[in-house]
A and B are shown apart, each in its own frame.
Chain A
Amino acid sequence: MWRFARPVAVKGWGRAVIELQNVAMSYGGRELLSEMTLRLMPGSFHFLTGPSGAGKTTFLKLCYAELSPSSGMLSLFDRDVRMMTRDDVAAMRQRIGVVHQDCQFLDHLSVAENIALPLSVSRRAADPKELRELLSWVGLRAQADALPPQLSGGERQRAALARAVMMSPDIILADEPTGNLDWEMSQRLLNLLIELNRMGKTVLIATHDLNLIRTAKSQVATRVLRIANQRLQLAGADL
């Protein structure tokens, strides 16, 4: 199994890595999210559920500062996002691995180059051995030199997850990461996320897949959050 070569120093243990206080989010005058209050502690593992259109993706976008809250206070790594410059946001994103639902890539670069992109933008060279191991682990070794448009939906999601964890980030945010994967591959990716969590990473996964949640709960302490009626709730223990 692929492992991070470098030891991970968990920074700011005891302080929330993501904190929302009474956050609201509006689009075109319509309030999508309101009265959101949450503290995600380092090393925690959370699932985010809710009906389609409830605002899960919007919530995740708030968590990596692609969107700014309409009101309330949002802090990432103990810093208020309203006080962050664009360079601060970029530096903060190097500590957050994001897996999008639509998995966007640079289509003119190979899969391997796309996975190593977070290192490239921070002017660091990828360790070829580490990159090969990561590609093997997500089952994309044979597609390393392929271009992203040549990948299937499931392969794209695996490549997106590999890119998200390439920098050994402190937080991993994943939006339906197993949506296009078969059960076996979903299990492998979940195991990777669980392993990362055991190394001290904070994991937040937005998903509809209750089986995935149940499998994770059997292996690691998780909390399940639910967005309903624009508000964030702690889901019941019956999942």
Chain B
Amino acid sequence: MRRLFDMLRSEGRGVDRVVPPTGFTARLTLLTAAAMAFLAVFALALSLATGRLADRWADALARSATIRISAPADQIEAQAAAVLAVLETTPGIESFRILDDAEMKALLDPWFGPDLPVESLPLPKLIEIVETVAGADAEGLRLRLATEAPGAVLDDHTRWRRPLVEAAGRLRTLGLVSLVLIGAATAGMITLAAQAALAANGQVIRVLRLVGARDQFIARAFVRRFTLRGLWGALGGTALGMMAVAVLPEADDAGGFLTGLGFTGAHWLWPLIIPPLAALVAYAATRAAALRMLKEVR
């Protein structure tokens, strides 16, 4: 890393003069770095957004559970009282309450409309539980409920929480894999551009070797130029990418995941690492290509 900074310092300006300016490879490197940085901003935004989503889902659902009591009308109150008694003595339960008719109605409204006569329907009773941070022993609680209140069923949300969190986690992994692939593609494109520049400057390299230039000196001239192009291209692409993310719709509950694709708070700092990373990739790719090619010239 120190070599990279030394090379980029102003003293290197004289060194890369020995290499003639090459318009085609310069434009190709700038464009590639800019395009890849633009894509990297979106991959980063996707990865961070899915990470936030997974955390939110996990947090929201991890500490909550529901007990549903389905029993004949004459037994339901007794079983409800038994369940409450069990919950009172169960470790890991922070609070619990029976959902009232208004809350039941609110839950059913989306499916049956607002005129549903809740009072006249044989609905099960629902008890909402909030666990402590340490959590309750779900299997132990099920066994006790089966004994004390046979009509009670514990739903700790695991069944549908796990695939949601897993899906969000996979999306986050996909975003990170995309970032790695973007980095690799950038390295590949810059290597090709550097090799084209080196091949086009065979005479320059021969003359430099003839007058006693070391491989490091010659490589430095090419590497500095490509590193700076990678850096400037990535700066432009990152700036454009961040602007594009900034004008995406704001996150809201109605939009859900799609409107939450963006950066929040300190996450806006993450894209700033893309330009130096692109410069590092350009440095490593060009240096490897230059030293490999120079070995062919005695």
Contacts and interface: CB of A to CB of B under 8 A. Distances in A.
Contact of B211 (A66, A89, A108, A121): A121
Interface stretch (B12-20, B233-241, B278-286): B12-20
Contacts of B295: 86
Nearest to B218: A121
A120 B212 CA distance: 10
Given A66-B298, A104-B203, A93 B18 contact: no
Interface in A91-130: 91-94, 98, 100, 104-109, 117-118, 120-122
A87 B294 CA distance: 12
Nearest to A119: B211
Contacts of A87: 214-216
Contacts of B298: 65-68, 89
B63 interface: no
A158 interface: no
Nearest to B201: A106
A92 B207 CA distance: 15
Contacts of A93: 209-212
Chain B residues touching A, majority SS: helix
A113 B178 CA distance: 47
B27 interface: no
Contacts of A109: 17-18
A163 interface: yes
A106 B20 contact: yes
Given A66-B298, A107-B20, A120-B18, A90 B207 contact: no
A90 B213 CA distance: 6
A163 B211 CA distance: 9
Contacts of A106: 18, 20, 204, 207-208
Contacts of A108: 20-21
A92 B216 CA distance: 16
Nearest to A114: B207
B217 interface: yes
Interface residues of A, number: 28
Number of contact residues on B: which range applies?
Answer: 20 to 34
Nearest to B295: A86
A118 B207 contact: no
Nearest to B213: A121
B207 A117 contact: yes
B287 to A, nearest CB: 15
Interface in B13-55: 14, 17-18, 20-21
Nearest to A92: B212
Contacts of B267: none
B97 interface: no
Contacts of B211: 93-94, 117-118, 121, 163
A191 to B, nearest CB: 24
Nearest to A98: B210
A120 B17 CA distance: 10
Chain A CB count within 10 A is highest, among B208, B211, B295, for B211
Contacts of A86: 214-215, 294-295
B144 interface: no
5 contacts: A87-B214, A104-B207, A117-B207, A122-B212, A163-B211
Given A64-B210, A86-B214, 16 more contacts: A66-B210, A67-B298, A87-B214, A87-B215, A90-B214, A93-B209, A93-B210, A93-B212, A100-B210, A106-B18, A106-B20, A108-B20, A117-B208, A117-B211, A121-B211, A121-B213
Closest CB pairs A-B (n = 8): A94-B212, A121-B213, A108-B20, A93-B212, A118-B211, A90-B214, A104-B207, A90-B212
Interface of B: 14, 17-18, 20-21, 203-204, 206-217, 294-295, 298
